[in-house]
Amino acid sequence: MQPVTVVTGGTGFIGSHLIDELTQRGVRVRVLARGRAPILETHKDRLEVAWGDIRDRDAVFRALRDAEVVYHLAGYAKAWARRASKFHAINAEGTANVCDAAKRNGVGRIVHMSTALLAPPEEPDLTVDYERTTYQRSKAQAERIVSDYVDGGGSAVIVRASRTYGPGPLNQSNSITRLIDLYSRGLFRFRIHDRNARANYVHVRDVVAGLIAAAGRGADGAAYVLGGENRTMPQVLDDITSVTGRRYKVLALSRGASKTLALGCELAALLGFEPLITRDWVDLLCVDWPVSSNGARSELGYQPRPWVEGVKDTLSWLEAGRPSLVGMGAGGPP
């Protein structure tokens, strides 16, 4: 019988694209899922589904039975949680459950999805706290768990995706595509005055290619950045304009005004409204954070597409009425 490849977080943004690619390659895929999602229906004849939560140790063990490779993408990547412990429970303890189940089941390799927000910038500033959010700290703990698993004799590789965009649900997990969509329609009119801080942007299909390459070629214990191009927000908006031919005025709110707005979002959260942003994320988005994917390029053969090419692809998908959205899940991290 063909070996099983398990995907956690398979109903999310990146996970749905990964499942699409693996099934097209004829890989036998099993997905750990909590509930129904479009991607599970789209590929129902080619997928095995193990029902359960990443926080359930027994469910994870059952899902990894007979697995050869595990792509661990499940995580909590939002800006806020009503209980901060949710970040730790899903991102860190969930990873511990995967590593424990992999060890007990004799899994060949884990590919652990992390974040480029843990990758050192090309030009680090010693005065900056690069792990200021609860999300980052929980993902850093998850990476340490994976490293301990490798030190104990397991085979695992870490991939750190940067700001991922492309066809998929327009939610917090796919916020860059949502930005592209809003700006192209003249609805993105405010941004944070971040002093032209740089960030890295990567197309979702390039992340998927990097994940698969890491499974086959990545060094045990290594962490590879799966990124694209470093761009400032004004450059991002200019590039969208160059594709659409439409330019709109965008007001840059001061950092102080942005944090006041974020405080209002946090207070609204007490009434049950999910905040779009929090004060610590305002600070984070103002950090100049260019990263390099040279390690992935040289060791994995990783070749991300140019940013403007990715913008064109995303806009074509949006303008065509989001035709591939039926295969996407309800959202999830990198």
**pLDDT for residue 331:** 35
**pLDDT for residue 289:** 97
Output the six-digit token pair for 251. 């007001």
Q: Which residues fall within 8 angstroms of residue 7, CB to CB, at 6 or more apart?
A: 15, 18, 19, 22, 29, 30, 31, 32, 70, 71, 73
All structural domains of the chain, each given as residue ranges with its CATH number in brackets, are 4-164+203-227+291-304 (3.40.50.720)
47: β partners? 29
DSSP assignments along 239-308, one per residue: HHHHHHS-----EEE-HHHHHHHHHHHHHHHTTTPPPS--HHHHHHHTS------HHHHHHH---PPPHH
Q: Does residue 7 sit in helix, strand or coil?
A: strand
What is the pTM assigned to this prediction?
0.95
**pLDDT for residue 172:** 85
In tens digits, the chain (334 residues) has pLDDT values of 789 999 999 999 999 999 999 999 999 999 999 998 999 998 889 999 999 999 999 999 999 999 999 999 999 999 899 899 999 999 999 999 999 999 999 999 999 999 999 999 998 988 888 998 999 999 999 999 999 999 999 999 999 999 999 999 988 889 999 999 999 999 999 999 999 999 999 999 999 999 999 999 999 999 999 999 999 999 999 999 999 999 999 999 999 999 999 999 999 998 989 898 999 999 999 999 999 999 999 999 999 999 999 999 999 999 998 765 434 443 333 3
**pLDDT for residue 126:** 84
**pLDDT for residue 326:** 39
